[in-house]
A and B are shown apart, each in its own frame.
Chain A
Amino acid sequence: MSDGGKERGKNQQTSSKKSRPSGDADFGLAISKIAVAQICESTGFRGSHLSANDAMAEIADLSLSCGFRGASDVRQCLVSSDVVREIAKFVSTEAEVPFFRSIPRLTVPSSSQRLHRLVITYLIGFRGYLHTAADANADMVEQTRLQMEERPLLSQQMVLAMIREG
């Protein structure tokens, strides 16, 4: 299976650096690509070019973020909207194609010390935090910083889950 072609020359490195998304965007896009591939397979496709699959995944992300124009009108009930009627018909007629595996949720550690370490690990990514961490002792901070150099930052989703758990 071929992709859409590769950039060559010195522009390759700079363009790859510019277009490289953050960690949580990588995660979302990766999941979107799999979901889009499943949707394409359900229609009858037996393969896909990588560039086409990537483009479809980006459009799915845009649809999830931006929504659909004309779907809402304050002057009428939602159910009488043509868009919602079509969605209702789709739900009643279309066969289910669930995502191929469940996405694991981040489990927040129960002990406060581990939670403390996780929060510091996340915050160390912000520059200048090492000098403003009030509760962490210097050894723990240094150890965690050295570990962070090898590991990527916690994703935004993991931090939000931690904050929700309180």
Chain B
Amino acid sequence: MNSSSSSSMGGEGRHDDDSGLTEFLSSLMDYTPTIPDELTEHYLGKSGFHCPDLRLTRLVSVATQKFMLEVANDALQHCKARQAAPVKDKSKQPKEKRLVLTMDDLSKSLQEYGVNLKHQEYFADNPSTGMEPTSREE
């Protein structure tokens, strides 16, 4: 009896999971992600995944959009913190505090997600540019 009850509970649990999954996938059709379905299908196709089920395509689009939104939100916090910091030289202080996404804020945000994004400090014509003359001769 115990085994039958446990198996029936397991069956009910699976039924709940299936209905929950179906409901979740159906809800994706009511939500239009910012990333177009065509773009997601293109990149899924490039990876070798062809899926006629639009719900799965939407799932990937929504997951990517969520990730990008989180990164952008973190970058926004870094931007606001930087603008709120006191500026020593008031002449350099910008007149209007416009929130602009920069590489500095983006790289700080992405570090928390394990993505290392570094912006080059400067560009040089050759490796010895900017070096001391003595070290250049060596």
Interface residues of A (CB under 8 A from B): 1, 4-9, 11, 24, 28, 31-32, 35-36, 38-40, 42-49, 51-53, 55-56, 59-61, 63-68, 71, 77-80, 83-84, 86-88, 90-92, 94, 96-99, 102-103, 105, 157, 160
Assembly CA distance A44 to B98 (angstroms): 10
Name the A residues within 8 Å of B28 (CB-CB). 91
Contact B42 A157 (CB under 8 A): yes
Candidate in A4, A9, A43, A67 with the most chain B CB atoms within 10 angstroms: A43
Name the A residues within 8 Å of B14 (CB-CB). 77
Interface residues of B (CB under 8 A from A): 14, 17-18, 20-21, 24, 27-28, 31-36, 38-40, 42-47, 59-69, 71-73, 75-76, 79, 98-103, 105-106, 110, 115, 117, 119-120, 122-123, 125
| A79/B103 contact (C-beta < 8 A), A6-B123, A24-B42, A90-B66 known | no
- Mostly helix, strand, loop or mixed at chain B's interface? helix
Nearest CB of chain A from residue B70's CB, rounded to whole Å: 9
Contact B21 A79 (CB under 8 A): yes
Name the A residues within 8 Å of B105 (CB-CB). 52
Assembly CA distance A36 to B103 (angstroms): 14
Candidate in B14, B36, B119, B122 with the most chain A CB atoms within 10 angstroms: B36
Contact B21 A103 (CB under 8 A): no
Nearest A-chain residue to B19, judged by Cβ: A79
The number of residue pairs between A and B whose CB atoms lie closer than 8 Å in the complex comes to 156
Name the A residues within 8 Å of B36 (CB-CB). 31, 35, 99, 102-103
Per a CB cutoff under 8 Å, which of A77, A99, A102 touches B34? A99
Assembly CA distance A97 to B36 (angstroms): 11
| A63/B20 contact (C-beta < 8 A), A32-B39, A52-B101, A52-B106 known | no
Nearest CB of chain B from residue A74's CB, rounded to whole Å: 14
Task: For the A-B complex with A86-B66, A88-B24, A91-B28 known, give 6 more contacts whose Cβ atoms are closer than 8 Å.
Answer: A28-B43, A31-B39, A47-B101, A55-B117, A99-B34, A102-B36
Candidate in B98, B110, B123 with the most chain A CB atoms within 10 angstroms: B123
Nearest CB of chain A from residue B73's CB, rounded to whole Å: 5
Contact B103 A39 (CB under 8 A): no
